[in-house]
Structures are given as structure tokens and as C-alpha cells.
């Protein structure tokens, strides 16, 4: 399942046998049951429905899980650096500086009380220690790089004053300002319009390509990510059911993936009852 040739340089992200469980009122529930992923500077899509564990898998890289979670893995490394043994402070340094995460609701990542410009400048000075004099100019450049027209005006706007798509671009600019090596987009476009969605994904893909970053696209939308990924991992109940090459969705073998593909409504067979996904207990093994 690994397309990275075994050479001397460590892969960008190396996860082996990741297991995450939560302590709840009803006992221990396992959310992730043995996920392995090795990736370089490529685009990997992780697709699954809610409850599949796809978001939790990558939030564990940052230490963003609640205290009731127990994270265990044989290996969890970022460019050779072990992530499991880091304490909170070191994990915070990694978060943002080396791995960036774009989330569904940009307003969550943006401080509502500060203008976009000010937050961007703060990010630049915090992560890359850009001196105050150059920070403003660099911030404007960043906004232009994410294709925001009239960046100087947007610098002075508050997050609630811009549209969802523009807020997402601003969020992306903030994340890119730290120049991370790996970008994780967790349902980054689910709250956006169909057309804006593609524009944002085009933008993410462009930036990732220009900067030589790795990209993990987490989504529940199979069709959407198929166009933007080199590899697609299909997750269900905390496990990877199948791995596909980008653009080759129709070659899916696993019944879960085929079931997901088949139950989508389509213009080709309108009106007929959609096949319902029958979940097999055997998939949980």
C-alpha cells in the first residue's frame, strides 16, 4: 500500500497502526482501529462517513483530542521526528509551524475580535519571526497569493464582514504564512457553495503544488476528492477499507466503497429507488 520507495529520507508523514479509543459513560469505545499511512509530498484523500474516525486520526497528530482519548501507535512521525513522545508545548510548536489544518468553519479559526490583517501579521511574527516592518507587506502579499482581490481592503475587515469563501481563503493565508510542510484540510469546503468549493480546492491544490507541501484531504464527498487526490483512502468504523488511485473511483473493489458509490442519486437514473448501503458485520473485522 505504500508508494514511497524506501530510500534514506524519511517520509513526510509516517503513521503505523494508530489506535485511538475514548472513555465514555458506557465503557471504552474504539474510534480508530489500526490505521497506517505513509505519505510524501503528495495529495492523499481520506474519505468516510461521519463516525468513520477520519477527522480524529489527524487531530491526534496535533494533540487536539480531549483528555479522555487514549492514542497509541507503533509509529507516528513527521519527517522522521517522533510525535508520540512530545509534550503539549512541543506539539503546539509543531501545530501551525510544520502541520497546518484548515477546518470546515473558518470563523472557528479566526478571532472575531481582530481584523484579518492583524491576525495575519500576528501569525507571521509568531511563527516566522518576521520583523514588524515587513510583516504588513508580507501579509498583503499572502492575501494576494490566495487570490483575494483588493487585499489591502480585506486587511482591515473583520471575519464576520467577509463571505464564507473569502474567510476560508484568509484562513488558508494564515496557515500558509507559517510555511508548513503538511496541510490537512478537514471538510474544508463542506460549508461552501458547489462552485466556491471547487475554487477553494483549486486554490489549495495550487498552493500545495507551488510550495511542495503534502496534502491530506478529509471529506465525506467521494466525487469531490477524487479529482484532487493522488491516493484515496476509504475509511469505515476506524479502519481503512480500501485504497484507490486518484481518478480511479470506478475501479473500487470493496463492497463498502461500491455501496457508497452506488447509493448516490444521479441524473442517469432519476426517480428509481436508490440502492441502500447494507453494512456487513464482516467489515468490522
List contacts with another protein (CB under 8 A). 25, 49-50, 66-67, 193-195, 198, 220-223, 259-260, 263-267, 270-271, 273-277
3-state secondary structure 196-261: HHHHHHHHHHHHHHHHCCEEEEEECCHHHHHCCCCEEEEEECCEEEEEEECCCHHHCCCHHHHHHH
Q: Which is nearer to another protein, 10 or 246 (by Cβ)?
A: 246
Shortest Cβ distance from residue 259 to another protein (Å)? 7
Q: Which is nearer to another protein, 132 or 195 (by Cβ)?
A: 195
Q: Which is nearer to another protein, 10 or 164 (by Cβ)?
A: 164
| Distance linking the first and last C-alpha atoms of the chain | 19
| Gap between the Cα atoms of 107 and 116, Å rounded | 11
| Gap between the Cα atoms of 110 and 88, Å rounded | 22
Q: Which is nearer to another protein, 20 or 140 (by Cβ)?
A: 20
Shortest Cβ distance from residue 22 to another protein (Å)? 14
| Gap between the Cα atoms of 212 and 214, Å rounded | 7
Q: Which is nearer to another protein, 141 or 202 (by Cβ)?
A: 202
Shortest Cβ distance from residue 174 to another protein (Å)? 20
Shortest Cβ distance from residue 32 to another protein (Å)? 18
Burial of 168 (0-12, 13-18, 19+ CB in 10 A): buried
Shortest Cβ distance from residue 180 to another protein (Å)? 24
Residue 6, SS3 per DSSP: coil
Shortest Cβ distance from residue 9 to another protein (Å)? 38
Q: Which is nearer to another protein, 7 or 273 (by Cβ)?
A: 273
Q: Which of 37, 5, 8, 75 is CA-nearest to residue 231?
A: 37
Q: Which is nearer to another protein, 150 or 273 (by Cβ)?
A: 273
Task: Give the number of other Cβ atoms within 10 Å of residue 83's Cβ.
Answer: 22
Provide the residue count of the chain: 285
Shortest Cβ distance from residue 25 to another protein (Å)? 7
| Gap between the Cα atoms of 221 and 120, Å rounded | 30
| Gap between the Cα atoms of 143 and 171, Å rounded | 10
Amino acid at each position: 500500500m505504500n508508494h514511497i520507495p524506501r530510500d534514506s529520507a524519511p517520509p513526510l508523514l509516517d503513521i503505523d497502526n494508530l489506535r485511538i479509543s475514548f472513555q465514555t459513560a458506557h465503557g471504552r469505545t474504539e474510534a480508530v482501529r489500526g490505521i497506517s499511512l505513509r505519505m510524501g509530498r503528495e495529495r492523499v484523500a481520506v474519505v468516510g462517513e461521519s463516525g468513520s474516525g477520519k477527522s480524529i486520526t489527524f487531530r491526534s497528530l496535533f494533540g487536539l483530542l480531549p483528555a479522555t482519548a487514549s492514542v497509541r501507535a507503533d509509529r507516528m512521525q513527521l519527517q522522521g521526528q517522533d510525535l508520540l513522545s512530545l509534550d503539549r508545548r512541543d506539539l503546539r510548536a509543531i501545530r501551525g509551524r510544520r502541520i497546518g489544518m484548515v477546518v470546515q468553519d473558518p470563523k472557528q479559526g479566526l478571532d472575531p475580535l481582530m481584523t484579518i490583517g492583524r491576525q495575519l501579521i500576528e501569525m507571521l511574527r509568531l511563527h516566522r519571526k518576521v520583523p514588524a516592518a515587513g510583516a504588513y507587506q508580507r501579509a498583503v502579499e499572502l492575501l494576494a497569493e490566495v487570490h483575494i482581490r483588493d487585499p489591502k481592503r480585506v486587511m482591515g475587515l473583520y471575519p464576520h464582514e467577509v463571505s464564507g469563501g473569502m474567510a476560508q481563503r484568509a484562513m488558508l493565508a494564515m496557515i500558509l504564512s507559517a510555511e508548513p510542510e503538511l496541510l490537512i484540510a478537514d471538510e474544508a469546503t463542506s460549508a461552501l457553495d458547489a462552485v466556491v468549493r471547487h475554487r477553494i480546492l483549486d486554490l489549495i491544490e495550487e498552493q500545495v503544488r507551488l510550495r511542495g507541501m503534502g496534502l491530506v484531504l478529509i471529506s465525506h464527498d467521494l466525487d469531490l476528492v477524487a479529482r484532487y487526490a493522488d491516493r484515496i483512502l476509504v475509511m469505515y468504523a476506524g479502519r481503512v477499507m480500501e485504497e484507490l488511485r486518484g481518478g480511479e473511483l470506478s475501479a473500487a473493489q470493496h463492497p463498502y466503497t461500491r455501496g457508497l458509490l452506488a447509493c448516490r442519486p444521479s441524473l442517469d437514473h432519476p426517480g428509481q429507488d436508490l440502492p441502500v448501503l447494507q453494512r456487513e458485520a464482516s467489515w468490522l473485522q
